[in-house]
């Protein structure tokens, strides 16, 4: 439930980007999380899809090592991103049909659940394969589990399925964002892009919920 205080904060947010989310816009923390996370995920997904069909050999090993090293560095920011979203619900749903709101929400949930699954299964797959996580020769994290072949294979399968689910959700997500821009509704997407005044778009929804509350 939103209070009138939330409303005044949200209206004030049109002047600058607030740190935390308001009912009308994503705050600075969510925006940094989103764009840093997006860059890391697209990079890791790209490398993974690139090497997945390669025959075993030095070239595949090179890309796998790069994937694991970048994945290990990305682990904390990505985990933080998911936890942040769990405790910060973000702005109100966009002013669009209930069906579209549901699809948008489903896509976001698949993306976040995908990140969580990938950052858990990735390192565990390396460790249960009996290997250490090597990060560019800077440091390595030895396997706390030792070799556990059956679990290793299961984790690899879950990792692959999560990556594919994320790829599909990501296509929907990016097409949706592009649609908003092409359809001249870029102010909606401005909740994440940071255009000045973008936050005003939801003021109608906001007023209704303030009156309702
Ligand atoms: C070029 C790539 C991308 C574009 C243009 C884009 C665009 C956007 C926009 C405009 C929003 C705000 C929607 C709203 O107003 O409610 C958003 C939210 C979101 N995006 Fe993306 N996005 C991209 C990549 C990604 C990637 C790679 C992921 C994760 C795998 C991701 C996950 C999310 C999630 C979970 C949200 C909901 C808010 C949050 O928790 O951050 N996006 N995106
Ligand atoms: C959001 C983050 C991540 C994404 C999008 C991602 C994506 C992928 C993809 C697409 C593949 C290829 C799957 C295939 O073989 O068909 C893959 C494989 C792999 N990833 Fe990730 N990954 C992520 C995070 C991680 C992390 C953090 C680690 C470990 C530190 C990791 C370790 C591995 C390993 C060991 C494989 C090879 C599995 C196999 O041989 O099938 N990944 N990943």
Answer whether 52 contacts ligand 2 (Cβ < 6 A).
Answer: yes
pLDDT tens-digit map of 6-26: 433 444 444 578 888 888 889
C-alpha 34 – ligand 1 centre gap (Å) = 6
pLDDT tens-digit map of 51-88: 999 999 999 999 999 999 999 999 999 999 999 999 99
Answer whether 37 contacts ligand 2 (Cβ < 6 A).
Answer: no
Closest protein CA for atom 33 of ligand 1? 108
Closest protein CA for atom 14 of ligand 2? 52
C-alpha 142 – ligand 1 centre gap (Å) = 34
Ligand nearest to the CA of 194: 1
Closest protein CA for atom 8 of ligand 2? 48
Q: Which atom of ligand 2 is nearest to the CA of 51?
A: 12
Spelled out in words, what is the top-level CATH class assigned to the domain 19-212?
mainly alpha
Structural domain boundaries of the chain?
19-212
Bridge partners (DSSP) listed for residue 140: 134
Answer whether 45 contacts ligand 2 (Cβ < 6 A).
Answer: yes
pLDDT of residue 2: 39
Q: Full-prediction pTM beyond 0.95? A: no
128 pLDDT more than 90: yes
pLDDT tens-digit map of 86-126: 999 888 887 788 998 999 999 999 999 999 999 999 999 99
* 3-state SS string for the chain: CCCHHHHHHHHHCCCCCCCCCCCCCCCHHHHHHHHHHHHHHHHHHHHHHHHCCCCCCHHHHHHHHHHHHHHHHHHHHHHHHHHHHHHCCCCCCCCCCHHHHHHHHHHHHHHHHHHHHHHHHHHHHHHHCCCCEEECCCEEECCCCCCCHHHHHHHHHHHHHHHHHHHHHHHHHHHHHHHHHHCCCHHHHHHHHCCCCHHHHHHHHHHHHHHHC
C-alpha 171 – ligand 2 centre gap (Å) = 19
Find the range with the poorest average confidence among 26-30, 130-134, 143-147. Answer: 26-30
């Amino acid at each position: 439930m939103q209070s009138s205080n939330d409303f005044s904060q949200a209206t004030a947010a049109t002047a600058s980007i607030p740190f935390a989310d308001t009912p009308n816009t994503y705050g600075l923390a969510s925006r940094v999380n989103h764009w840093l996370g997006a860059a890391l995920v697209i990079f890791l997904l790209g490398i993974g899809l690139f090497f997945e069909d390669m025959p075993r050999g030095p070239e595949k090993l090179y890309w796998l090592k790069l994937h694991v090293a970048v994945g290990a560095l990305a682990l904390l920011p990505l985990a933080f991103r998911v936890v942040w979203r769990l405790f910060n619900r973000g702005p109100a749903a966009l002013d669009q049909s209930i069906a579209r709101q549901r699809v948008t929400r489903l896509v976001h949930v698949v993306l976040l659940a995908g990140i969580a699954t990938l950052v858990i299964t990735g390192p565990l797959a390396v460790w249960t394969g009996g290997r250490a996580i090597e990060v560019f020769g800077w440091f390595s994290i030895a396997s706390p589990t030792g070799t556990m072949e059956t679990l290793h294979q299961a984790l690899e399968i879950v990792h692959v399925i999560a990556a594919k689910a994320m790829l599909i959700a990501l296509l929907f997500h990016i097409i949706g964002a592009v649609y908003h821009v092409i359809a001249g509704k870029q102010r909606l997407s401005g909740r994440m892009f940071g255009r000045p005044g973008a936050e005003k778009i939801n003021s109608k929804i906001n007023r209704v919920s303030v009156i309702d509350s």
